[in-house]
A = this chain, B = another copy of it.
């Protein structure tokens, strides 16, 4: 995969920023985007307190964002798959407030934020799309809030699986068979559970024939049952 795929040629463009931009203007957007070298598993895209200069579109692979609390504990705040935009939480503070780390080999498109703002001044649909993206992120956070409040651990795990499934489907991939890019630890941390709990739930779901799990490979066998377990579709 070349480092210089243009937005025109990118298979993700229907779900990424270009969505909002008319073909005639796509070059302008294309020109401000930097394609960096791939990140290896474990590498950071940015760290908390880095000055905020850009948002990033995930092109391949997967990332997680996390913060470290004052007590030194990690809190995973999100997972980002191809086509999704990461780094929008830094706009208000001028520096990033979370860390973004590659869960596996990943490539991203870097979109300098002040250039994006300039361009948004000229292209109303781009401004709207970006407002919309952020609004979507807020919506997803609300959904997550609901999930974490409505205690049941089963619901949480089911919801995450369904969310990943939906996001996979959006990229034109299978909604039933896929690979989890993150560890059990990350899942547990994200959902506010103990690793052991997540593990137990995976085995139980399997015993109930809702799921086939083999390490990070997952197959959803009984989607209705999984849905009944807990709702949630998204995460921007």
Q: Using CB atoms and an 8 Å cutoff, list the residues of chain A in contact with chain B.
A: 67, 69-70, 73, 75, 77-78, 88-93, 97-98, 117-118, 120-121, 124, 127-128, 130-139, 141-142, 144-146, 148-151, 189-192, 231
Contacts and interface: CB of A to CB of B under 8 A. Distances in A.
Given A93-B139, A138-B137, A117 B121 contact: no
A146 B133 CA distance: 22
Secondary structure at the A interface, as helix, strand, loop or mixed, is helix
A127 to B, nearest CB: 6
**Residue with the highest number of chain B CB atoms closer than 10 Å, among A67, A145, A190, A231:** A145
A85 to B, nearest CB: 11
A67 B146 contact: yes
A115 B80 CA distance: 32
A55 to B, nearest CB: 10
A191 B121 CA distance: 39
B117 A128 contact: yes
B141 A92 contact: no
A57 B120 CA distance: 24
Contacts of A142: 67, 77-78, 89, 97-98, 141
A128 B134 CA distance: 13
